[in-house]
Structures are given as structure tokens and as C-alpha cells.
Amino acid sequence: MASLYTKTKLYIEANSKTWDKTKVELRDDMVDGVSSPYIKKWTYDFAKPNDSKIASYETAGNTEETARAVLNKRASEYKKLKEQLDLLYHDMTAGKLDNTGEWHKHIKKVKDDNPK
């Protein structure tokens, strides 16, 4: 289930605005151990979304969170930039600026292991 943050952010972006923590505040008052997130503060110049409007962003929110998780996983598996530049240098020296180079193989493996 997508978070209230993600669904609210998508709603804001659908209204051609960006997330501004001075204009929106989310809260989660746990009631008997059950999460109950809600929008506490809303000062944008368009309507605050009601529960059904927020719910309509569930699928898009799930897609966004899945994509973000994949990109975060990839980022953690890529070699450090200086190591990637070293791979590129050696590939250039060896004349392997194609899919046989070590840099390409490394990037392809990370992407293949973590598909979008």
C-alpha cells in the first residue's frame, strides 16, 4: 500500500506544484496500534484532497514507490564514481567502448539484477 506521503505528493504534482513542507504537514496518530495517517496542515492554493481523492492515487503511488526502491537498490550496487571512471579509462585504453567493456558489463549487471 502506497504511503500517504507518496499519494499526497502525486496529487500536488498533478496540480502543477511541488512538495513544500511549509504548506503541507502529514501526521500519523496511532490508535490502538493501528496507523491512521492524515493531512494535518494544508495551505496550497488548491483544494485539500479528501480520502477518496487520495485513494485514487494508490496505483500510481505503488508504481512510484516500487520504482524508487529499484533505483535506490541500483544506486547501492553501482561502484563508486571514481571506480567507474577507472573502468572507463581502462576500457578506452583497450578500445572497448562498446558492450564488451568492463564498465558496460558492470552497469548492465546492476540493471539486469534490478529491473524497473
Q: What is the DSSP string of 80-116?
A: PHHHHHHHHHHHHHTT--STTSHHHHHHHHHHHHS--
State the pLDDT at residue 30. Answer: 85
Answer yes or no: are the C-beta atoms of 39 and 48 closer than 8 Å.
Answer: yes
At 15, which amino acid appears?
A: N
pLDDT digits (tens, 9 = 90+) for 40-89: 999 999 999 999 999 999 999 999 999 999 999 999 999 999 999 999 99
Judged on CB neighbours under 10 Å (0-12, 13-18, 19+), 35 is: exposed
pLDDT at 25 over 90: yes
State the pLDDT at residue 33. Answer: 87
- The confidence band for 111, taking pLDDT boundaries of 50, 70 and 90, is very high
- The confidence band for 32, taking pLDDT boundaries of 50, 70 and 90, is confident
* Count of residues in the chain: 116
SS3 38: strand
- Distance separating alpha carbons of residues 106 and 6, to the nearest angstrom: 31
* Angle between helical axes of 81-93 and 102-113 (0-180°, round to 10): 130
- The confidence band for 31, taking pLDDT boundaries of 50, 70 and 90, is confident
